[in-house]
């Protein structure tokens, strides 16, 4: 563990003149702009200084003549951003996948949407856009307007050279998706199978890419809150919170204490909702229907609380820039507490079940093992990382909302198998219940929002939230108008999906659904 | 030869065809209701009193749906496998004494136990063929899983069925049922428990429902079936469930013979038979609810490394203690 200052010193010592400028994006978050070519050394130095660091996201920004690439590196308590610029005409930069394999998808995404070629990338295929997308149209470049984006596309996700039997002998290609009963959302995974054993996985995402980052640029900040909430239905409050936090950081607005507590409550409700949904779904994947029905029934308690708090059962539309949109009614507090107590009783039953049921353990123990080294190398986040013993949680590392005032534990398991990932979630539900109970007991009085102007001053900021599936990352750049210049969203599943390739390899075909569901994949988040 | 009305009635109405089908649908309803209540759901409630007509409504609905045969599906096998499979399961009931006598008088004979068990295996093989002829990868995998499992549980099932036959000194199902002054389930509970577990595999219920693993292979061998063929395939599976439970009742629970009856014996026999069968249905459904699905390799491990040796052991123990049990 190295503090940010030490890393910055190491950077300036070894890069010297190759650093163009250093500035602070927002308190505690530094931005180091380096010469093109020095970015790889810079990333390497940060990764060496902090052995648990990882590339959180790669953001591209169109600056007119050049494209700015930002490597956001997650360290123990903050984000360090390394910036490099490439000319638009000849957009080429060296890939960092050889020093950090988890950057694979991040680079492919930037390559798709900005047309930057990453030299030395092991698999520079399309990731987000369809195969028959026109060659030189890069949607997130400013010269591309919504009007000239092609409306019709044909062979989506089918490359011409795809065959059912791969060239290697004995290996058979089994295509999982885009439509498959184990996948609720459309995404394709080509499994190369030797008998019952998986030898390789080729993921292809982008089937539900809706261009939300581009759409956000043509809407006002207020409209964008509702837009980003629709990136993911289940963790909608996390997206809204993260976006609002980031915009508030640019504006320098501080949120009233009551609003911070109410945000914490809705974020934790989101987490319980998401985790219980997933645990029930995991039951269904391993053929344990009773578990599925039990879990989803108890999830109803949370839905009722959400309705009492926000007026909606799923999409909350609760958080806004400057606070929250509704106050919690005093008469609802005892009702919510009673339901939480009920949920807690149920949780001890589930905990016992997960620890003792033999058929459940037969299907999840030692299935889809992800070691700690691999978890760090692939840059996984959230319960997937914590199930492999990586102790990280944005709520503790970089507190937002009211998390700095509320005590809670970060749950980690060392096994790294599907069971551990499910257990992390089960225990986190218990922690979330405690957090909500504490927040309700210590709810400050006062206003629940401050009014903010519609236009946002020029600036840029990074926001991070621990969504149910892991670290959610936002980068917002403002140009001084009511419309953002750039909104970058890196969802937790986008960081986690690469690890599926790793955990499926060498495993049994029948284990693919069980290990896949333990990652809690959300494809509408992944594709945006 | 004049048409024997009694014969026609017994074959077509009671205890033959109509009774078996209606009773099957009733058992299906019981099964669904128990599973739903155990999983904290309502289960069927709308059709008929407490939803008891729901299985019939589902059946009729499927009959009216469009019948699609895949272009590549081998026509003859694909078309006829469900109906032949259903016929075999219904036919097997002819050897079980439901109201005290066989469906057709004189149809039971020494050795009909072996015939019934063989017929069940053949009907299961037809389920495999129905999936195999669908030319759909999911159906094919489901079908091979049926076959893989069939090898694993049929042998233990035969061995376990021999224990009651040994105690009764007969291979005639009616004679075995008749001999049980104390039901064999109480005399040799270890065999009965193993038989019920084996039945779970035979009926493709959790934890052995790998041929149906929805999240892996959609609906298994049923994937390509639609309309009336699907209706008959599902009915065949339901009749198989009742048949499996009925065999367990005949072999271990004393068949239709009960401790209390006066007056019309056929009514009491049927009542006892139905009650005992429902007990078996409840037990199998309970097991279904409390387990997760095993993987196909784990199922085979259970079949070959656990069930088969245990079945042999239980037969040996039964033969050993049989001398003391026989006077009962």
Q: When comparing pLDDT for A326 and B135, which is higher?
A: A326
The verdict on A510 touching B (C-beta cutoff 8 Å) is yes
pLDDT value at residue B3: 67
CB contact under 8 A, B296 and A362: no
| ipTM passes above 0.90 | no
Q: Which residues of B touch A509 (CB under 8 A)?
A: 216
pLDDT value at residue A497: 85
Q: When comparing pLDDT for A47 and B29, which is higher?
A: B29
Using CB atoms within 10 A of its CB, is residue B80 exposed (0-12), middle (13-18) or buried (19+)? middle
Residues 149-188 of A with CB under 8 A from B: 181-182
CB contact under 8 A, B292 and A297: no
CB contact under 8 A, A287 and B206: yes
The verdict on B1 touching A (C-beta cutoff 8 Å) is no
| Closest residue in A to B214 (Cα–Cα) | A181
Q: Do domains A4-148 and A212-504 have the same CATH topology?
A: no
State the average pLDDT over residues A38-66.
83
Q: Specify whether the backbone of A120 is left (phi greater than 0), alpha (psi in -120 to 50) or beta.
A: left
CA angle A310, A427, A356 (to 5 degrees): 130
The verdict on A252 touching B (C-beta cutoff 8 Å) is no
Q: Work out the minimum CA distance from A363 to partner chain B, whole angstroms.
A: 7
Is pLDDT of B1 > 60? no
Query: Residue B5 — very low, low, confident or very high, per pLDDT cuts 50/70/90?
Result: confident
What are the pLDDT digits (tens) for A220-272? 888 889 999 888 888 888 899 999 989 988 888 888 989 989 999 999 999 99
Beta bridge partners of A81: A31, A72
What are the pLDDT digits (tens) for B243-266? 888 888 888 887 777 766 666 777
pLDDT value at residue B216: 65
Cα B12 from chain centre: 20
Cα separation, B239 vs B89, in Å, equals: 6
Cα separation, A237 vs A249, in Å, equals: 18
Q: Which residues of A touch B220 (CB under 8 A)?
A: none
Is pLDDT of A154 > 60? no
Is pLDDT of A1 > 50? no
Q: Which residues of A touch B293 (CB under 8 A)?
A: 286-288, 359, 363
Query: Residue A382 — very low, low, confident or very high, per pLDDT cuts 50/70/90?
Result: confident
pLDDT value at residue A169: 59
DSSP structural state of residue B292: P
Helix (H) or strand (E) holding B74: none
Helix (H) or strand (E) holding A407: none
State the average pLDDT over residues A336-344.
89
pLDDT value at residue A156: 53
Q: Which sign, positive or negative, has the C-alpha torsion B305, B306, B307, B313?
A: positive
CB contact under 8 A, A359 and B39: no
CB contact under 8 A, A297 and B297: no
Cα separation, B128 vs B19, in Å, equals: 27
Percent of chain A surpassing pLDDT 70: 94
The verdict on A250 touching B (C-beta cutoff 8 Å) is no
pLDDT value at residue A150: 64
CATH topology assigned to domain A212-504: Cytochrome-c3 Hydrogenase; chain B (1.10.645)
What are the pLDDT digits (tens) for A439-473? 988 888 888 888 888 888 888 888 889 888 888 88
* Domain extents in chain B: 70-325
From A149-163, A484-498, B223-237, the region with the lowest mean pLDDT: A149-163
Q: Which residues of A touch B213 (CB under 8 A)?
A: 287, 510
Helix (H) or strand (E) holding A376: helix A372-378
pLDDT value at residue A153: 60
pLDDT value at residue A152: 59
Cα separation, A154 vs A162, in Å, equals: 16
Q: Please state the three-class secondary structure of A181-240 as a single string.
A: CCECCCCEEEEEEECCEEEEEEEECCCCCCCHHHHHHCCCHHHHHHHHHCCCCCCHHHHH
| Closest residue in A to B215 (Cα–Cα) | A182
Is pLDDT of B306 > 70? yes
* Domain extents in chain A: 4-148, 212-504
For A109, half-sphere exposure in the C-beta direction (CA atoms, 13 angstrom radius) is 25
Give the residue ranges of DSSP H helices in A255-288.
257-285
Residues 195-224 of A with CB under 8 A from B: 196
Nearest to A386 by CA among A430, A432, A351, A425: A425
Q: Work out the minimum CA distance from A279 to partner chain B, whole angstroms.
A: 13
Dihedral angle at the C-alpha atoms of A9, A66, A473, A423, nearest 10 degrees?
Answer: -90
The verdict on B214 touching A (C-beta cutoff 8 Å) is yes
Is pLDDT of B127 > 60? yes
Give the pairing of strands A188-194 and A197-204: antiparallel
Query: Residue A165 — very low, low, confident or very high, per pLDDT cuts 50/70/90?
Result: very low
Is pLDDT of A162 > 70? no
The verdict on A293 touching B (C-beta cutoff 8 Å) is yes
CB contact under 8 A, B292 and A181: no
What are the pLDDT digits (tens) for A507-523? 777 788 778 888 888 88
CA angle B50, B225, B39 (to 5 degrees): 35
State the average pLDDT over residues A115-124.
82
Percent of chain B surpassing pLDDT 70: 92
Beta bridge partners of A22: A32
Beta bridge partners of A74: A54, A79
- pTM for the full predicted model: 0.81
Cα separation, B150 vs A517, in Å, equals: 30
Q: How far is CA B52 from each of CA B38, B55, B234, rounded to the nearest angstrom?
A: 18, 7, 17
Nearest to A391 by CA among A370, A367, A407, A375: A375
DSSP string, B7-52: HHHHHHTSSSHHHHHHHHHHHHHHHHHHHHHHTT---S-SSSGGGT
DSSP string, A93-147: EE--TTT-GGGHHHHHHHHHHH--EEET-S----SSS-TTS-TT--TTSTT--GG
| Closest residue in A to B41 (Cα–Cα) | A293
State the average pLDDT over residues A138-165.
64
| Closest residue in A to B208 (Cα–Cα) | A287
Cα separation, B221 vs B142, in Å, equals: 5
The verdict on A286 touching B (C-beta cutoff 8 Å) is yes
- Would you say how long chain A is, in residues? 528
Beta bridge partners of A462: A475
Is pLDDT of A41 > 70? yes
State the average pLDDT over residues B199-213.
77
Is pLDDT of B2 > 70? no
Local structure of A475: helix, strand or coil: strand
CATH topology assigned to domain A4-148: Beta Polymerase; domain 2 (3.30.460)
Cα separation, A442 vs A399, in Å, equals: 17
pLDDT value at residue A182: 64
Q: Which residues of B touch A189 (CB under 8 A)?
A: none
Q: Which residues of B touch A360 (CB under 8 A)?
A: 292
- Sequence-separated (6 or more) residues with CB below 8 Å from residue A400: A241, A245, A394, A463, A464, A465
State the average pLDDT over residues B192-200.
87
Indicate the angle between helix axes A221-229 and A236-251, nearest 10 degrees: 150
pLDDT value at residue B260: 67
pLDDT value at residue A60: 86
CB contact under 8 A, A363 and B292: yes
Cα separation, A88 vs A60, in Å, equals: 12
Is pLDDT of B88 > 80? yes
| Residue among B41, B213, B290 minimizing CB distance to A287 | B213
Is pLDDT of A144 > 80? no
For A217, half-sphere exposure in the C-beta direction (CA atoms, 13 angstrom radius) is 21
| Closest residue in B to A281 (Cα–Cα) | B215
Q: Work out the minimum CA distance from A490 to partner chain B, whole angstroms.
A: 29
Q: When comparing pLDDT for B214 and A363, which is higher?
A: A363
| Residue among A181, A293, A511 minimizing CB distance to B40 | A293
pLDDT value at residue A78: 82
Is pLDDT of A114 > 80? yes
pLDDT value at residue A26: 78
Q: Which residues of B touch A422 (CB under 8 A)?
A: none
Q: Work out the minimum CA distance from A511 to partner chain B, whole angstroms.
A: 8
- Sequence-separated (6 or more) residues with CB below 8 Å from residue A313: A303, A306, A307
DSSP structural state of residue A401: T
How high does pLDDT run on average in chain B?
82
DSSP structural state of residue B210: G
| Residue among B216, B289, B298 minimizing CB distance to A290 | B289
Q: How far is CA B192 from each of CA B10, B22, B197, B318, rounded to the nearest angstrom?
A: 31, 27, 9, 11
Q: Work out the minimum CA distance from A299 to partner chain B, whole angstroms.
A: 13
Cis? peptide before B207, omega within 30° of 0: yes
Nearest to A93 by CA among A56, A17, A42, A145: A42
Give the residue ranges of DSSP H helices in chain B.
5-12, 17-38, 54-64, 75-92, 112-132, 137-168, 173-179, 184-187, 189-202, 214-217, 227-252, 265-290, 296-301, 308-325
| Residue among A182, A283, A360 minimizing CB distance to B216 | A182
Is pLDDT of A146 > 80? no
CA angle A114, A117, A122 (to 5 degrees): 125
Residue A176, φ and ψ in degrees, nearest 5: -100, 110
State the average pLDDT over residues B117-133.
84
Residue A121, φ and ψ in degrees, nearest 5: -70, 135
How high does pLDDT run on average in chain A?
83
Cα separation, B155 vs B161, in Å, equals: 10
């Amino acid at each position: 563990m190295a503090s940010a200052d030490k890393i910055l010193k190491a950077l300036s010592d070894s890069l010297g003149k190759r650093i163009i400028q250093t500035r602070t994006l927002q308190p505690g978050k530094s931005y180091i702009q380096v010469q093109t070519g020095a970015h790889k050394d810079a990333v390497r130095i940060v990764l060496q200084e902090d052995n648990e660091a990882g590339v959180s996201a790669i953001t591209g920004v169109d600056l007119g003549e050049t494209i700015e690439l930002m490597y956001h590196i997650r360290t123990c308590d903050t984000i360090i951003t390394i910036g490099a610029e490439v000319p638009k005409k000849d957009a080429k930069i060296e890939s960092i996948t050889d020093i950090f394999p988890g950057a694979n998808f991040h680079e492919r995404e930037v390559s798709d949407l900005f047309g930057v070629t990453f030299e030395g990338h092991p698999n520079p295929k399309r990731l987000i856009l369809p195969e028959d997308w026109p060659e030189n149209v890069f949607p997130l470049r400013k010269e591309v307007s919504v009007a000239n984006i092609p409306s019709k596309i044909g062979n989506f996700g089918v490359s011409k050279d795809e065959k059912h039997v791969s060239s290697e002998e004995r290996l058979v290609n089994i295509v999982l998706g885009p439509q498959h009963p184990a996948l609720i959302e459309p995404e394709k995974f080509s499994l190369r199978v030797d008998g019952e054993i998986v030898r390789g996985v080729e993921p292809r995402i982008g089937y539900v890419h809706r261009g939300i980052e581009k759409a956000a640029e043509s809407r006002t900040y207020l409209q964008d809150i509702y837009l980003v909430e629709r990136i993911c239905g289940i963790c909608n409050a996390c997206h809204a919170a993260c976006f609002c936090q980031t915009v508030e950081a640019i504006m320098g607005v501080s949120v009233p204490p009551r609003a911070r507590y109410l945000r914490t409550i809705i974020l934790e409700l989101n987490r319980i909702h998401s985790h219980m949904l997933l645990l029930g779904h995991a039951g269904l994947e391993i053929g344990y229907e009773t578990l599925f029905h039990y879990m989803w029934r108890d999830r109803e308690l949370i839905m009722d609380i959400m309705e009492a708090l926000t007026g909606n059962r799923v999409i909350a539309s609760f958080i806004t820039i400057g606070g929250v949109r509704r106050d919690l009614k005093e008469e609802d507090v005892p009702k919510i507490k009673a339901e939480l107590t009920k949920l807690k009783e149920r949780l001890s039953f589930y905990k016992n079940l997960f620890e003792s049921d033999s058929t459940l353990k037969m299907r999840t123990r030692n299935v889809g093992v992800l070691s700690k080294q691999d978890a760090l190398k692939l840059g996984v986040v959230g319960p997937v990382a914590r199930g492999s013993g990586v102790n990280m949680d944005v709520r503790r590392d970089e507190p937002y909302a009211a998390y700095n005032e509320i005590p809670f534990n970060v749950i980690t398991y060392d096994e790294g198998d599907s069971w551990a990932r499910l257990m992390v979630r089960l225990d986190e539900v218990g922690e979330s219940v405690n957090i909500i109970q504490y927040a309700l007991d210590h709810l400050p009085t006062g206003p629940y929002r401050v009014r903010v102007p519609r236009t946002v001053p020029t600036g840029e900021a990074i926001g991070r939230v621990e969504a149910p599936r892991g670290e959610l990352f936002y980068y917002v750049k403002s140009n001084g108008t009511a419309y953002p210049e750039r909104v970058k969203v890196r969802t937790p599943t986008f960081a986690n999906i690469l690890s599926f390739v790793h955990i499926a390899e060498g495993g049994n075909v029948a284990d693919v659904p069980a290990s896949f569901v333990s990652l809690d994949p959300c494809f509408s988040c992944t594709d945006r | 030869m004049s048409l024997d009305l009694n014969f026609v009635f017994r074959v077509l109405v009671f205890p033959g065809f109509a009774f078996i089908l209606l009773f099957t649908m009733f058992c299906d309803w019981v099964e669904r209701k128990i599973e739903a209540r155990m999983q904290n759901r309502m289960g069927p409630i709308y059709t008929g009193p407490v939803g008891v007509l729901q299985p019939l409504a589902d059946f009729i609905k499927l009959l009216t749906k469009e019948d699609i045969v895949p272009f590549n599906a081998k026509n003859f096998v694909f078309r006829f496998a469900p109906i032949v499979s259903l016929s075999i399961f219904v036919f097997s009931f002819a050897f079980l004494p439901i109201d005290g006598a066989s469906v057709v008088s004189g149809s039971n004979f020494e050795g009909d136990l072996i015939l019934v068990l063989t017929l069940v295996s053949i009907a299961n093989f037809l389920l495999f063929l129905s999936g195999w002829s669908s030319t759909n990868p999911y159906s094919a995998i489901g079908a091979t899983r049926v076959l893989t499992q069939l090898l694993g549980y049929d042998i233990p099932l035969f061995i376990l069925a021999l224990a009651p036959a040994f105690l009764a000194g007969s291979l005639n199902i009616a004679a075995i049922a008749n001999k049980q002054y104390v039901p064999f389930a109480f005399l040799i509970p270890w065999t009965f428990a193993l038989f019920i577990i084996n039945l779970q595999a035979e009926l493709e219920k959790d934890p052995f429902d790998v041929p149906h693993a929805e999240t892996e292979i959609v609906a298994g061998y049923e994937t390509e079936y639609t309309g009336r063929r699907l209706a008959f395939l599902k009915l065949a599976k339901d009749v198989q469930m009742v048949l499996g439970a009925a065999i367990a009742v005949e072999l271990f629970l004393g068949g239709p013979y009960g401790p209390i009856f006066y007056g019309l014996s056929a009514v009491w026999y049927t009542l006892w038979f139905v009650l005992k069968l429902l007990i078996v249905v409840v037990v199998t459904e309970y097991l279904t609810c409390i387990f997760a699905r095993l993987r196909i390799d784990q199922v085979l491990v259970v079949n070959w490394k656990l069930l088969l040796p245990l079945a042999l052991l239980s037969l040996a123990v039964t033969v050993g203690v049989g001398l003391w049990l026989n006077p009962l």
